[in-house]
Amino acid sequence: MIVLPCFETERLVLRPRGLADFDACLAMDRDPAVTRYVQGPWTNPKEHTAFLRSRIEIDYGRGLGYWSIFPKETPGSFAGWVLLIPYDAVGPEVEIGWRLNRLAWGKGCATEAARRILLHAFEELGLDRVVADIHPENHASQRVAEKIGMTFHRNGLYGGVPCKCFVQTLSGFRGRQPRNTGV
């Protein structure tokens, strides 16, 4: 089993998601407002439990997986998760995604966590490209994608449902990073 690194940002702690986060993830997914734009077995307890367990236990490869998000000011409060995994869990492309419980909405947590995971993707893993498919009505997630430097690529389908496909490339990412001018 590959161990994922932990990360800290200005306001957040990101640690590999594990079974200790299981109940918090289940509760978050059962909130219809949270999963409004996401297909999944959220209303079937048996399927939902099996789906979540498999997503927690699978080995996605070196440096890939899910990170649980915790605010530094309330370290025991599960805010949600951010992922960097093979597209639709199978690849070959790598996708980034995020899901936060309602208490964390509108506070910049998704943007802050996703920025750190993109840094990991490009600078530590050496990926050339990261994608995100977002429901066309999920304007909040589209704004997060744009804030972390992703650009709209095309309209597409994900599981037969329309989506907006966003992409960030290594060169685009490097072009957005602050440069050390030596001053």
Rounded mean pLDDT, 71-75: 94
pLDDT at 177: 61
pLDDT at 164: 97
Rounded mean pLDDT, 171-178: 78
Distance CA 140, CA 112 (A): 14
More confident call, 89 vs 19? 19
pLDDT at 176: 73
pTM: 0.92
Distance CA 49, CA 45 (A): 6
pLDDT at 2: 62
Q: Contact at 8 Å (CB) between 150 and 98?
A: no
Tokens of 148: 């972390």
Query: pLDDT tens digits for 94-147?
Result: 999 999 999 999 999 999 999 999 999 999 999 999 999 999 999 999 999 999
Residue 92 predicted with pLDDT over 50: yes
Residue 182 predicted with pLDDT over 50: no
Distance CA 7, CA 14 (A): 5
Sheet holding 129-134, edge to edge: 7-8, 12-16, 65-71, 80-86, 94-100, 129-134, 161-169, 151-158
Tokens of 156: 């597409």
Q: Supply the DSSP string of 116-153, one letter for each residue.
A: HHHHIIIIIS--SEEEEEE-TT-HHHHHHHHHTT-EEE
Query: pLDDT tens digits for 14-71?
Result: 999 999 999 999 999 999 999 999 999 999 999 999 999 999 999 999 999 999 999 9
Distance CA 172, CA 27 (A): 36
- Domain over 7-176 is classified CATH 3.40.630.30: yes
Radius of gyration over every alpha carbon of the chain, rounded to an integer in angstroms = 16
